[in-house]
Structure 1
Amino acid sequence: MTQDHLDTTIFGEPGAQEPRRRRRQRQSKGKGRRLLTLVLAIVLVGGAAIAAVAVLKPFVSSIAGDGGSEAEDFAGPGEGEVAVTVKQGDSGEAIATALKSAGVVKTRTAYLEASAADPEQSAKIQAGTYTLKKGMKAIDAFTLLADPANRSVPRLTLPEGLWASEIIPRLSKSTGVPVAQYQAALKNPAALGLPQAAGGRVEGYLFPSSYEFDKGTPAAAQLKQMIALTLAELEKAGVQPEDYTRILTVASIIEGEVNGDADRAKVARVIENRLDDPNGPTIGRLQMDSTVHYIEQERGRAGTSDQARNSDSPYNTYKVKGLPPGPINNPGAASIEAAANPAEGPWFYFVAVNPSTGETKFAVTAAEHDVNVQEFNKWCSENKDKC
């Protein structure tokens, strides 16, 4: 075998070896370019992702409600004063938003973390207005809110015996809710929890007490709470639902007639004795001045005039037998208890012989009562501006 043939057998045809080397070199270069392209693509994608994070971070943070993704906090202790109102039913999220909006805390997250760290105290935060500082540490703001002593809320005291026509304007003045909104709420008595036996009339069911309604608390929510307290008091006194309005009617008369708690149960007995005996001394008529005052919507004077007692109103118990159509005011707990549990006794009459002190005398017969009335008339002659 010649050398040329040997070369051909081992390396192929003469001249073929060189092109093969060039192909390998071209393939190597192609792989390198592809690798470089891949690396560049990765770099570009990574850069785009970083840029996207930088662009979207503020947007995402704004959705979360904070200026940053971390629970950034002020150094405190803060300065100035700012009022923050926590509304009834506000969640921790709502409180955090209010604090951040007022500039009290730097981020919502900082407050939420402070709140989550002490769920027991967080649950004690009550509705009301709190005075805080701008730039507080979140934990300091949380501690202040959790202390009821720092809470400020309008307090309205409604005394016993007011008419609904007097209560509504007082509520409106205290809370800033227009009278028209109370009137609108009263058109849906069932939504207020008013029992069907009330016949849609709220008189008698607005419980006299001290209330802490935030500014702007819906009229319906206020009325609903007051009615609920009245129903609770009736239940406490052992009154059955079907008797609610009757007992409140009697209680309202007691409230309108009596000053001292000691006499309430005795007045309740006088009312029941007159109702139980249509042939008795008053032939079933209650003859209560308080019901006539309700007709006239007038306060401040003892006794009634002949003209007022001649009214044809169904609330005029001097002419109409039995109870009036419903309560004549909004009675308190003592009068409700007395109406539900009258004292035992034979009395048919009573009169406040000294309306200034509330001194009241009871009688069984008309003759005994006349003597007591003379004592009342003597007081009136000495206090003409009050009779």
Structure 2
Amino acid sequence: MTEYGRGPGSEPWHPEDPLFGDVGWEGQQAQVGQQSSYGGQPQHYPEQPQQPQQYGDWGHGQQADYGQAQQQYPGYDEQGNPHYPDQQQWADQQQYADQSHQQYAAQQQQYQQGGWDGTGEPAQVPYAADPGDPYAQQAVAYGEQQPDFYGTPDAFPPPEPPGKRRTEPEPEQTDWDPGPDQGEHAFFAGADDDDEPDDDDPGAGRGRGDRRGEGGKGKKKSRNGCACLLVVLVFGGGLGGVGYFGWHLYENRFRAAPDYAGSGNGDTTTVTIPKDAGGYDIGRLLKAAGVVESVDAFVSAQQANPDGKSIQDGVYTLQKRMSATSAVELMLSPKSHNNLVIAEGLRSSAVYELIDKRLAVPKGTTASVAEKDYKSLGLPNWALNHPNLKDPLEGFLYPSSYAVTKGQKPEAVLKGMVSLASAKYQDLGLEKQAKALGLDGPWQLLTVASLVQAEGTSHDDFRKMAEVVYNRLKPDNPQTYGRLEFDSTYNYVKNQSKIDLSITELRKYDNPYNTYFYKGLPPGPIDNPGEEALKGALNPTRDGWYYFISLDGKTSKFTKTLAEHEKLVNQFNEARTKH
């Protein structure tokens, strides 16, 4: 079988034959399945070793007649010498070739005219089977489907004589043929993203076979440069990002944070630290003020100091260009504290004077603001619209440490104090527990706490002092009959703090705050109570106390009857006489 799979066919010519190569391949091959000029009969030439066939030209565009082709085929003996058939055999072959040619011409004419018989069906043209065709490629009638292996662009070319054969050239690399690197993605191989041809491409609109057969070359599109640039940018940016973050990681973890040396340059400054500020918050404030060089240095120094986390909010007087360690140590020392401290039980009038002094404003400025603008300072609703008040802010300037510095306005300072008091009273539950204690509301409870704060001498007796208040407020109590009779209320009206008061004087002074003159509670608080006094008012004892007296000015003694109380009063007077 030949390498084309068409059966043994005729024996190849000897290369020395002068007519070698003129085999009639001058056009497209005959349709596959048509009979050969030999009628499908095998030729009886001596067998000759088959020489390898290579691809060659397709001839000159015209197909040779079958008869002419047959006349050119000699045979060869076993030694390779040409052997021509005798005259009779040659004549028979010539006659048979002529008949085959006429039959082929008739078939071609019938096919061109439509090849239809009288029934309207395609005419059937029988052909004899070729016994030498091992692939059963017999001819079929024109009208039946048969694959054409030689009429398509992908068909094998006809054999070429050895003398005219040449080495097959390497396939040209084109934009549609990626070459040996066929596994490479089309993007990097220079292929287009789509299959649409360019307008200026001579092969536009053709398939791959058309462009290959006609040799047309379109505009070669290549994106190798863009692809390489993109790869360089991506990898370059990635390496740059890794380097950037790596450097910062080294800076943050392995390199010491910038820090000043020494305890400062002598230039003082004040820094206000807000409530609940953390280490980084404090560090940023100190750096902004020029105290420390970096936030990280301060945080490290704060963590290294065992007491570093105990730095409180407030105003601190520090020096500029301090080392972080020196700044932490100074902030932990009382020497640096520059806060406005409001003590427990301090009256509002005293608080106003302290604010004026800290803000460096004329005396009475803060008191005037409190009197005119108290409704806009953040008081809760239950603290408004109470009659006969000496000071509407009394009880709401909560005792604490405040960061007050020169340049602030009195309104801002008062708002901060009122805000803290309101939050504290809400946390303690003044509104919820007032009714349970027999009071009208949180305003009265706050007033009780201010009385406990004013009369108590220590934290230990605040609960007992609260019980004295509640017992005396009962209108039918057999000891005071609803009068409190606290010296502190009289002193509040007089804006004084005396202990040697005449009973006659106390009972004659007509003022709503004078609990010797009026039953029940005063119109409002008489000071600003602290947390311990508030808790005492919320949780009084239940022991039956009605009276109290302080013999040493530090602690109080409590009694349940007036007789027991008078004995203690006599002891107190005797002690004063001796001194």
Q: What TM-score bracket applies, with the shorter chain setting the length?
A: 0.5 to 0.7
> SS where residue 557 of structure 2 aligns?
strand
User: Structure 1's 131 and 219: CA in aligned 2 closer, same or farther, altered over 3 A?
Assistant: same
- Which residues in structure 2 correspond to 1:185-200 (within 5 Å)? 185-186=369-370, 187-199=372-384
Q: Is the contact between residue 154 and residue 175 of structure 1 (CA under 8 Å) also seen in structure 2?
A: no
Q: Which runs of 5+ in 1 are unaligned?
A: 1-73, 106-110, 134-139
354, 365, 386: which one pairs with 2:551?
A: 354
Residue aligning to 2:575 = 379
Q: Is the contact between residue 190 and residue 196 of structure 1 (CA under 8 Å) also seen in structure 2?
A: no
Instruction: Tell me the amino acid that sits aligned with residue 278 of structure 1.
Output: D
Residue aligning to 2:430 = 239
320, 324, 339: which one pairs with 1:132?
A: 320
User: Structure 1's 77 and 285: CA in aligned 2 closer, same or farther, altered over 3 A?
Assistant: closer
Instruction: Tell me how far apart the structure 2 counterparts of residues 119 and 374 of structure 1 sit (CA, whole Å).
Output: 62
> SS where residue 81 of structure 1 aligns?
coil
341, 365, 368: which one pairs with 1:157?
A: 341
Q: Is the contact between residue 331 and residue 337 of structure 2 (CA under 8 Å) also seen in structure 1?
A: no
1:290 Cα deviation from its structure 2 partner: 1.0
Instruction: Tell me the amino acid that sits aligned with residue 268 of structure 2.
Output: A
- Per-residue CA deviations over 1:46-102 (Å, capped at 9, x if unaligned) read xxxxxxxxxxxxxxxxxxxxxxxxxxxx99869943234445789999988865xxx
Q: Is the contact between residue 144 and residue 150 of structure 1 (CA under 8 Å) also seen in structure 2?
A: no
465, 468, 478: which one pairs with 1:267?
A: 465
User: Structure 1's 258 and 279: CA in aligned 2 closer, same or farther, altered over 3 A?
Assistant: closer
- Which residues in structure 2 correspond to 1:275-314 (within 5 Å)? 275-278=473-476, 280-314=478-512
- Per-residue CA deviations over 1:234-273 (Å, capped at 9, x if unaligned) read 2343211783321221111112211022221111111111
Q: Is the contact between residue 506 and residue 516 of structure 2 (CA under 8 Å) also seen in structure 1?
A: no
Q: State yes or no: 1:210 paired with 2:401.
A: yes
User: Structure 1's 150 and 91: CA in aligned 2 closer, same or farther, altered over 3 A?
Assistant: closer
Instruction: Tell me the amino acid that sits aligned with residue 267 of structure 2.
Output: V
Identity %: 33
Residue aligning to 1:343 = 541
User: Structure 1's 214 and 267: CA in aligned 2 closer, same or farther, altered over 3 A?
Assistant: same
Instruction: Tell me the amino acid that sits aligned with residue 199 of structure 1.
Output: L
1:313 Cα deviation from its structure 2 partner: 0.3
Q: Is the contact between residue 341 and residue 401 of structure 2 (CA under 8 Å) also seen in structure 1?
A: yes
Q: Is the contact between residue 153 and residue 212 of structure 1 (CA under 8 Å) also seen in structure 2?
A: no
- Which residues in structure 2 correspond to 1:48-87 (within 5 Å)? 80-86=265-271
Q: State yes or no: 1:332 paired with 2:516.
A: no
Comparing 152-161 with 325-334, greater Cα deviation is found at: 152-161
Instruction: Tell me how far apart the structure 2 counterparts of residues 216 and 145 of structure 1 sit (CA, whole Å).
Output: 28
Q: Is the contact between residue 158 and residue 210 of structure 1 (CA under 8 Å) also seen in structure 2?
A: yes
Q: Which runs of 5+ in 2 are unaligned?
A: 1-257, 275-280, 301-308, 386-391, 435-440
Instruction: Tell me the amino acid that sits aligned with residue 275 of structure 1.
Output: L
- Which residues in structure 2 correspond to 1:215-226 (within 5 Å)? 215-226=406-417
Instruction: Tell me how far apart the structure 1 counterparts of residues 330 and 559 of structure 2 sit (CA, whole Å).
Output: 48
- Per-residue CA deviations over 1:120-146 (Å, capped at 9, x if unaligned) read 88xx9976443114xxxxxx78x5898
Query: More helix per residue: 1 or 2?
Result: 1
Instruction: Tell me how far apart the structure 2 counterparts of residues 339 and 86 of structure 1 sit (CA, whole Å).
Output: 37
Q: Is the contact between residue 351 and residue 376 of structure 1 (CA under 8 Å) also seen in structure 2?
A: no
Aligned residues: 289
Q: Is the contact between residue 292 and residue 309 of structure 1 (CA under 8 Å) also seen in structure 2?
A: no
TM-score, length-scaled by structure 1: 0.62
> SS where residue 361 of structure 1 aligns?
strand
1:283 Cα deviation from its structure 2 partner: 1.4
367, 378, 398: which one pairs with 1:183?
A: 367
Q: Is the contact between residue 449 and residue 529 of structure 2 (CA under 8 Å) also seen in structure 1?
A: yes
1:357 Cα deviation from its structure 2 partner: 3.3
Q: Is the contact between residue 277 and residue 284 of structure 1 (CA under 8 Å) also seen in structure 2?
A: yes
Instruction: Tell me the amino acid that sits aligned with residue 423 of structure 2.
Output: A
1:280 Cα deviation from its structure 2 partner: 3.1
Question: Bigger radius of gyration, 1 or 2?
Answer: 2
Instruction: Tell me how far apart the structure 1 counterparts of residues 427 and 352 of structure 2 sit (CA, whole Å).
Output: 26
User: Structure 1's 76 and 95: CA in aligned 2 closer, same or farther, altered over 3 A?
Assistant: closer
Instruction: Tell me the amino acid that sits aligned with residue 336 of structure 1.
Output: L
1:300 Cα deviation from its structure 2 partner: 4.2
Comparing 154-163 with 201-210, greater Cα deviation is found at: 154-163
Q: Is the contact between residue 359 and residue 406 of structure 2 (CA under 8 Å) also seen in structure 1?
A: yes
User: Structure 1's 76 and 167: CA in aligned 2 closer, same or farther, altered over 3 A?
Assistant: closer
Q: Is the contact between residue 292 and residue 304 of structure 1 (CA under 8 Å) also seen in structure 2?
A: no
Q: Is the contact between residue 353 and residue 373 of structure 1 (CA under 8 Å) also seen in structure 2?
A: no
> SS where residue 130 of structure 1 aligns?
strand
